[in-house]
Chains A and B, each alone.
Chain A
Amino acid sequence: MELSLQTGTVADRTILRVTGEIDVYTAPKLRQRLVQLVEDGARHLVVDLSGVEFLDSTGLGVLVGGLKRMRALSGSFALVCDQERILKIFRITGLDRIFTIVPTEQAALAVEPDPGGSEDRPDGGHAVPPVTDR
């Protein structure tokens, strides 16, 4: 199955939903989209891999590139994945130690605090940790 990419925004997070196979052939398309999102100003990225059927080392390399780029920009980069066969690939390579991997998009929104501040966000939600001054 071809790679399909869909972008959405929740508050200050940019969510990239990936569907299909990420391999040596399709990974450049993912890399291109990540670069574009960063150029467009995204600083808090959530890459949702829930619809990914296949991921290889080339795909891992692109995700690592995204993580490094966001770190360099003091942003955040989280992965959403609850499929054992994909999670296994992160474990085998030890990359589960450097990525934030959560099972749902909601969890991703909850674990990644917004370091940029968000005074105008409604205060009641407990899903997002309180933002400290910065």
Chain B
Amino acid sequence: MPTVRLEFSPAPAHVRTARLVAVAVARRAGVAEEVLDEVRLAVGEACSRAVALHQLYQLSELVEVEMADGARFTVRVSDRGPAETRPETGSVPDPVELVADSDTSFPAPSVAVGMGLALLTGLVDDLQVVPRRDGAGTSVRMSWPTA
């Protein structure tokens, strides 16, 4: 069972709230201080990705964040995006290539999603992007050691 469960409408303004909650719960769960920045950034990226997918497909369903403590602090961020948008963990885009390939001055949302995924992959050792257990959508699952 999750220790803390949070749901928010897919709006960028709420991503910061999710980050703040995640860091507070992680600290309480015993995640080391020096790892909290990583938790903050990773949860933010996972939530931004979910918000971007919901906006892309005009989905009004809530983004779900579940946090559980135990031997490891685990966070699961779940969206309702269509299955075909599921990123393959083996094909993480290279941000430098994304930059070179984009021809607009300010990168399109798809580039931002790719860059977010590259950042997540580089940041979190234990990261999985899996289909949701309860219907359409994907879950980004991450965990960190606790003291």
Contacts and interface: CB of A to CB of B under 8 A. Distances in A.
B13 interface: yes
B105 A65 contact: yes
B1 interface: no
A52 interface: no
Given A23-B44, A56-B41, A56-B44, A94 B94 contact: yes
A98 B98 CA distance: 12
A74 interface: no
A93 B37 contact: no
A48 interface: no
A95 B95 CA distance: 7
Interface stretch (B66-74, B79-87, B109-117, B128-136): B109-117
Interface in A9-62: 21, 23-25, 31, 35, 54, 56-58, 60-62
Given A61-B106, A62-B106, A68-B105, A92 B119 contact: yes
B15 interface: yes
Contacts of B15: 23-25
Interface string B22-54: 000000000000000100110011001001100
A98 B96 contact: yes
Nearest to B113: A57
Interface in A62-105: 62, 64-65, 68-69, 72, 85, 89, 92-95, 97-98
Interface of B: 12-13, 15-16, 19, 37, 40-41, 44-45, 48, 51-52, 94-96, 99, 102, 104-107, 111-112, 115-116, 118-119, 122-123
Given A23-B44, A24-B44, A24-B48, 8 more contacts: A24-B51, A56-B41, A60-B95, A68-B102, A92-B119, A93-B118, A94-B95, A95-B99
Q: Which 10 A-B pairs have the closest CB atoms?
A: A65-B106, A92-B122, A57-B116, A25-B12, A93-B95, A24-B12, A24-B48, A57-B115, A69-B105, A61-B112
15 contacts: A24-B12, A24-B15, A24-B48, A31-B106, A35-B106, A58-B116, A60-B115, A64-B107, A68-B102, A89-B119, A92-B119, A93-B95, A93-B115, A93-B118, A94-B94
